[in-house]
Amino acid sequence: MTRIILVRHGQSEANLARRWAAGATDAKLTALGEKQAQLLADHLTAHEQIDAVYASPLSRATDTVRPTAERLGLSVIPEEGLREIYGGIWEDQPISLLRTDPRTKPDFDIWDNDLAKCRCTEGESVAEVYCRAVAAVLRLAAENDGKTLLLGSHWTPVVSILTHVNFGDVSHIQEIFPPYNASISILRYENGSLTVETQNFIDHLGELVTPPIKNDKTKG
């Protein structure tokens, strides 16, 4: 049995500015996001025995799990499968603009209302992220049998993985509650399948919780 501790990154500069920083935009953590990363490390080092740490190569994901890795004497291993969705021409644009620009509005309306069928304009589709993120977690789990892994990732991959665990099909992705910044979901991998132990845990953040904005799906 492998345990997977899946974490969405802490608050990023793009989250704060409500810009679409996705798979090709390296938005850094805010000062608050850095504090969330330290609180994450406090919690995980007190309650978990972690054997390896993987993260999306984007700094906001890597820097969220790095404090935990450093306290444990581990390095953060880059994992492309955990990278955020590639947003095409949505990258680093204000979310308010994406909802009104004629070039992006039709596709962004699908993002808001039928997420499973969305493709970012000139970018990656949600279904493609679902497939690569789930494949990455299953591969890492199989390669690390008997260990506990910490994975640092982003909104779309985390939602995709939780959709797979809860429903087994990308068509249900709109039903997953959006993950908070620096939230923890713990999965168990046995006999080729994943089950949920904990989902969207945020007690470790205390007063530094930054919940998703309703109907915004702020990227990161």
Q: What is the pTM of this model?
A: 0.95
Widest CA span of the chain, in angstroms? 51
Cα 101 to its chain centre, rounded Å, is 27
Cβ(83)–Cβ(157) under 8 Å? Answer: yes
Could you tell me if residue 215 is inside a domain?
A: no
Confidence of residue 219 (pLDDT cuts 50, 70, 90): low
**Domain with 107 in it:** 2-208
- Whether 220 is covered by a domain: the verdict is no
pLDDT surpasses 50 at 45: yes
Count of domains for the chain: 1
* Residue 85 structure tokens: 């969705």
For 53, the token pair is 């740490």
| Residues 114-140, mean pLDDT to the nearest whole number | 98
Q: Check residue 211 and give its pLDDT.
A: 76
Angle between helix 155-166 and 126-143 (nearest 10): 70
Inside any domain, residue 180:
yes
**Does any domain span residue 22?**
yes
Is 213 domain-assigned? no
> Is the per-residue pLDDT at 111 higher than 50?
yes
Structure tokens at 195: 């089950």
Domain containing 30 — which CATH number? 3.40.50.1240
Confidence at residue 120, expressed as pLDDT on a 0 to 100 scale: 98
Q: Is 99 within a domain?
A: yes
Instruction: Spell out where 85-159 has E strands.
Output: 93-94, 148-153
Does residue 217 fall inside a structural domain? no
Tell me: the pLDDT tens digits for 166-201?
999 999 999 999 999 999 999 999 999 999 999 999
CA-CA-CA-CA torsion sign (203, 205, 208, 209):
negative
Residue 176 inside a domain? The answer is yes
